[in-house]
Amino acid sequence: MDVIARAAFRLALQTFPARFRRAHGDEMCDAFARALGARTVAGRVAYTLHACADAVGQGWRERTRRGVPRGHGAEDTERGGRGPMLVGTMNDIRIAARSLRRAPGFTLAATIVLALGIGANTTVFSALERAVLAPSGYPAADRLVIVDHTWRRRDGGAPENFPWSWPKFRSFQEARPGAIAAAAGYASRSVTVTEPGTPTRESIELVTSGYFPVLGRNPVLGRAFTVSEDEPGITPIAVVSHGFWRSRLGGDPGAVGTSITLNGTRVEVVGVAPAGFSGLSGRAELWIPMAAAASFFSPVLLRGREAHWFRVVGRLSEGATLAEARDQVTALGRAIGEEVPPQDPEDVYGAGLRSFDDVRVNEDARAAVFLLAAAAGLVLLVACANLSGLLLARSRRLARDEAVRRAVGASRWRLVRASLVESFLLAGLGGLAGLGLSAWGVRAMAAAWPSQFTSSGGGELRVMDPSSLALDSRVLAFALLVTALTATLFGVVPALRASQADVAGRLREGSGATRPVRRALGLDGRAALVGAQVALALVLLVGAGLVGGSVLRLLDVDEGFDTRALLTFSYAIPATSASADDPNAFHAAFRDRVASLPGVTGVTSGCPPLEGYCWTTLVRAIEGAPEIPQGEGPQVAVNMVGDRTFATLGIPLLRGRELDERDGTDRVPAVVISRQAAESLFPGQDPLGRRIQLGVGADDKDDLAEIVGVVGDVLYRGPDEEILPQAYYSWRDYPERAVTMMVRTAGDPLASLPAIRAELGTMDRTLAIYGVSTMDQAMARSMGDRSVVLVLLALFAGVTLLLAATGTWGIVAYQIADRRRELGLRMALGAGRSSVLGMVLRQATRTAGLGLVVGLAGAWAGSQLLDTFLFQTRPTDPLAYGVAATLLLGVVLTASWLPARRATRVAPVEALRAD
Amino acid sequence: MTHPSRRQTPDPTSLLPLSPPVYHVLLACGDKALHGYAMMQTFEQLTGGAEQLLPGTLYATLARMVESGLLEEVPPPSADADARRRYYRVTSFGRAVAAAETDRLALLVDVARARRLAAERGR
């Protein structure tokens, strides 16, 4: 007991300054022990605690009162340097801060290098956090599941996840397995809201009654939908978003029970959703019972057994496991699939289950973010290698100081600690600057975040909101961690060096003795740092080169039309509108008005290129060709277009005529096909005048169309996706209420938008324009994930190249400065300048060559990660490797040559006399 | 002609009020030369165990008192004394300071009594 008490007291005495302990420590311990001996057992415990607390308090007072002698810290080094850590460290921090202040150039360079490394990592981490790691925020989200309808062909293939149809979902709900507590259907659509306020196009979700309870997001005002509202034929009602309630309904609690007008139908508002909730689609402003879909959209939605159009979210029952639930759902899905034979006997329908958290992560985003995280990690490693070099070079300057400190008794640990403290202080500065850099980087990334990365599950599930990218507490914690890691990484080499300080050698070194030849010639630690930087930079350069090559090839793909100054937007005439009876008359009048606006050079309508195919179908029959068995014709994409579309879009007309006013008469509808369609459907024949059936009309007679022209191929999907044969019909033959307009302008396409909006308003004030885009924006979207990956990879590669260049330059310059005596001696003994230069460059080449070999291997391994981001480029593309390696070698040689040239310009005698 | 600067005796009241440990050390020492542990013992005895000096406070206080001239270190009284122990004696300045502090406290105690703030025992 007394032994422990005495040890505790001795430990407490450590808070006193060393000098005080030297003078009084033993006597104090003795007095404590005697005082202790005079007490009872209980008294000893109390006395020990009391005395120890008292000693600690007094010790601190003593330190602060007297102040710690500044400068060399030798006072803490007696007794093996086990002085109180904290105070010694404070002292070290003061020393380090002073020494960094004295070398502002070095400090600035180091801070920049670190800021680049830490900033890159913090920025990418914020994306990683939001896109991959962040929780969904729904209550008990681990019990949320996505119930998939699945489809496959009878002859094999894995089942594909598929939307549900209303009849099949009803069957599912009736026999819902025990492991699924509740399930709800949801689908995203858009409607025009005309009242109250000015008309706008709003995203909505059609949902079943279980939707709000399953997600745990019940309305804050009013109510959610009831089970009885899942019955078709109900009077339409709506739950509105909190934002919609605030902006359109004035935030009035009495708004529940009032009505709004959607697509011309009056709808009663029954509830207000909680603030910030915008549905699984991430954009819903209104929710309408799915059973009311027929009133707004097509009656087919609730009738067609194979009208597959919505997804299902569910919640597991208490205690049910995902595996159990999956088995039950799969069994039920098989039963539902066999209830009614599918229209195509080769189709097999079923059901499957995925955990919500798995579906939530967009796979492309995950791949891109992990790739960028790896790249950012490499940047940080290069920054560390670079900084290690800087610190090593600097520590050579400070070597004599250190040796003196060792000689007067500073312990090895003391020097290592001082070196580490300096590293941490630098890292802290770099971390702060890096955070500033990433505050900007995160904003830039939020702006450039590809829309493909924001949703998953067929676009119906919003996985992240790019505007939520921010420097939050988790990102800050990460930055702190990276900073500490960085400090340890780059600080450890100089610290080890400090610990190996050879006192006598160092003191002698500066004063005339020749340095060992081995170190001067061999691949020492600094050469290894150069090699490491070269290797790491090569990995990033090759990656950037591969992705950059892909983007160049993508940009080089011919879109098949003129993408410049083309505005696209949509509007839809509600079924209840007076204009709905003859939508073509309305569209034609509107087109004329838009065409007469100043700055507009052409107007047409149809599905715009680059935004995906409108719809695809199978060729049913070709007149004069062998009969095509049902469902086996080639796939064709179909587009219903306005007059003179090809001229307006700049699609070359290869044969025949445009679609225009000549169409829409009683005769057989006209169709224009693409070059690819002509080649695949009519190989070696003249397609003009031939008649085909593409399953476009309501019946076979209606379906027959005569080919009147052939046009060039156009990219409707991304440049890396397959181009389908295309057929264009005239809007005059197939009227539609909803259209997408394409307007060619003389100047900025968006500048015409207000005038266009005004024209539509004067014609029908209940219509809203939506989906406004320009072809330039569409082009950027079709590049999507690649462009973000490319920009960041290129940025990272550029930074590492710069770091590798400056790092090499710095290290070689110091190496040469170290060897000035040797070089001077060589030259004094008759070596020519060029031979000395050659020797330096040979060594640099050897170092860089080693780095290149390692880097090429690393790049080859890393390039496999890139595969999904490449287009017509193999991960082993020799051009990318060759260019990167040559560039790096050039940079290293230049960085070596410059300081070497300077050294050889010094007169030999001067060099010998130096120091 | 220049005079060597004479060291002035500081005003004893300049250090008042004394911190309790300083006053306690002065009381414990009296006119004897004592080492630290002896002071702890003496003080505890003098106060009947109601007050104690803890080693951390005591030695820190001793060092400060030597610096401010209240105590002086003296050689051990006999050759067989423990070599680790340092002995201290109150200086004449220390005595003057102790007396001034005692007067100050006595005045305060008188006031307290007049105001009936003292405990029963004091009446």
What one-letter code names the amino acid at A740? Answer: T
- Give pLDDT tens digits for A356-368: 887 777 777 788 8
Percentage of chain B with pLDDT > 90? 37
8 Å CB contact of B54 and A51: yes
Q: What does the H/E/C string look like for A598-657?
A: CCEEEEEECCCCCCCCCEEEECCEECCCCCCCCCCCCEEEEEEECCCHHHHHCCCEEEEC
Contact A600, A755 (CB under 8 A): no
- Residues A687-714 have a mean pLDDT of 81
The whole domain housing B103 covers 16-122
Confidence grade of residue A510 (pLDDT, cut at 50, 70, 90): very low
The pLDDT of A233-250, averaged and rounded, is 90
Q: Please list, in sequence order, all residues whose beta carbon lies within 8 angstroms of the beta carbon of residue A437, skipping any fewer than 6 positions away.
A: A115, A116, A118, A119, A123
Measure the N-to-C terminal CA separation of chain A; round to a whole number of Å. Answer: 62
Query: With 80 as the cut, is the pLDDT of residue A857 above it?
Result: yes
Angle at A275 between CA A269 and CA A280, to 5 degrees: 85
B56 touches chain A (CB under 8 A): yes
Is B7 inside a domain boundary? Answer: no
CA-wise closest residue to A660 among A650, A677, A673, A672? A672
Identify the top-confidence range among A143-157, A187-201, A645-659, A708-722: A645-659
Give the mean pLDDT of B95-115. 91
State chain A's mean pLDDT as an integer: 81
Pairing of strands A265-272, A259-262: antiparallel
Across A77-86, A208-217, A504-513, B68-77, which has the greatest mean pLDDT? Answer: A208-217
Please state whether the peptide bond connecting residue B17 to the residue before it is cis, i.e. omega within 30 degrees of 0. Answer: yes
Q: What is the DSSP letter of A130?
A: I
CB distance A417 to A77 below 8 Å? no
Instruction: Pick A26's closest partner by Cβ from B58, B64, B84.
Output: B84
Per residue, what are the HEC states of A549-609? Answer: HHHHHHHHCCCCCCCCCEEEEEEECCCCCHHHHCHHHHHHHHHHHHHCCCCEEEEEECCCC
Q: Dump pLDDT digits (tens) for A586-642.
A: 999 999 999 999 989 999 999 888 877 777 778 888 888 888 877 677 888 888 898
pLDDT: which is higher, A64 or A731: A731
Q: Which of A23, A34, A51 sits opposite B56 (nearest CB)?
A: A51
Give the pLDDT confidence score for residue A83 in this predicted structure.
Answer: 42
| Closest chain B residue to the Cα of A49, Cα to Cα | B54
The type of residue at A182 is: A
* Candidate from A163-177, A403-417, A419-433, A616-630 with smallest mean pLDDT: A403-417
Pairwise pLDDT comparison (A705 vs A197), residue with the higher score:
A705
Residue A81, phi-psi category: left (phi > 0), alpha (psi -120 to 50), beta (remainder):
left
- How confident is residue A842, by pLDDT bands cut at 50, 70 and 90? confident
pLDDT at A86 over 60: no
Q: What is the pLDDT of residue B1?
A: 40
Q: Are strands B71-74 and A311-316 parallel, antiparallel or unpaired?
A: unpaired
Give domain status of residue B46, yes or no: yes
Instruction: Report yes or no: A16 and A57 within 8 Å, Cβ to Cβ.
Output: no
Whether A24 and B58 lie within 8 Å, measured CB to CB: no
pLDDT given for residue A503 in this prediction:
52
Give residue A711's pLDDT.
Answer: 94
pLDDT band for A3, please (50, 70, 90 cuts): confident
- Tell me the per-residue pLDDT of B49-104, one tens digit each, with 9 for 90 and over: 788 888 999 999 999 899 888 999 888 877 666 777 889 999 999 999 999 999 99
Give me the mean pLDDT over the A793-812 stretch.
81
- For residue A360, what is the enclosing H or E element? helix A356-360
Judge whether B20 lies within some domain: yes
d(CA A533, CA A809): 12
pLDDT score of A514 more than 60: no
Residues of chain A above pLDDT 90, percent = 15
Q: Look at residue B99 and give its three-state secondary structure.
A: helix
* pLDDT at B25 (0 to 100): 93
Region of poorest pLDDT, from A80-89, A327-336, A371-380, A666-675: A80-89
Contact check, Cβ <8 Å, B59/A24: yes
Partners of residue B84 in chain A, C-beta under 8 Å: 26-27, 30
**Across A856-860, average pLDDT:** 89
pLDDT at B101: 93
Facing B56 at nearest CB: one of A26, A30, A58: A58
Residue A590: predicted pLDDT:
93
Q: Is the pLDDT of residue A507 over 60?
A: no
User: Quick check: A137 pLDDT over 50?
Assistant: yes
How many other C-beta atoms can be found within 10 angstroms of the C-beta atom of residue A834? 9
A31 interaction partners in chain B (CB closer than 8 Å): 36-37, 40, 55, 58-59
| pLDDT at residue B122, rounded to an integer | 40
Number of domains chain B contains: 1
Interface test with A, best of B19, B37, B86, B87 (most A CBs within 10 A): B37
The pLDDT assigned to A868 comes to 76
Which residues of chain A does B56 touch, with a Cβ-Cβ cutoff of 8 Å?
Answer: 12-13, 28, 51, 54-59
Interface touch A56/B86, C-beta < 8 Å? no
> Does B8 fall in a domain?
no
Q: Using pLDDT thresholds of 50, 70 and 90, give the confidence band for residue A461.
A: low
- Subunit contact B37:A35, Cβ cutoff 8 A: yes
**pLDDT value of residue A502:** 56
Is the Cβ pair A27, B84 closer than 8 Å? yes
> Which of A34, A54, A61 lies closest to B37 in CB terms?
A34
Q: Give the residue extent of every domain in chain A.
A: 2-67, 84-139+363-513, 156-345, 523-556+779-915, 578-765
> What residues contact residue B36 under an 8 Å CB cut-off, 6+ apart?
A24, A27, A28, A31, B55, B58, B59, B62, B85, B86, B88
Element at A184 (helix H, strand E): strand A180-195
Distance CA A741, CA A604 (A): 6
A560 in the Ramachandran plot: left (φ > 0), alpha (ψ -120 to 50) or beta? left
Taking 50 as the threshold, does the pLDDT of residue A71 lie above it?
Answer: no
B2 located within any domain: no
Here the ipTM equals 0.81
For residues A850-868, give the mean pLDDT. 86
- Could you tell me the CATH number of the domain that includes residue B86? 1.10.10.10
Q: Quick one: average pLDDT of A719-728? A: 83
Q: What is the pLDDT of residue B48?
A: 82
Containing H/E element for A708?
strand A704-711
Contacts of A246 (CB under 8 A, 6+ apart): none
Distance from CA of A20 to the nearest CA of B (A): 9
pLDDT tens column, A479-501: 888 888 888 877 776 677 666 65
Instruction: Quote the CA–CA distance of A728 and A731 in Å, as a whole number.
Output: 9
Judge whether A54 is closer than 8 Å to chain B, CB to CB: yes
A30, B29 in Cβ contact below 8 A? Answer: no
Grouping H, G, I as helix, E, B as strand and the rest as coil, residue A247 is helix
Smallest CA-to-CA distance from A612 within A726, A694, A707, A711 is with A726
Nearest residue of B to residue A19, measured between CA atoms = B63
Reported residue count of chain B is 123
Tell me the per-residue pLDDT of A322-347, one tens digit each, with 9 for 90 and over. Answer: 899 999 999 999 888 888 887 777 78
Q: What confidence score (pLDDT) does residue A139 get?
A: 83
Residue A24 forms contact with B (CB below 8 Å): yes
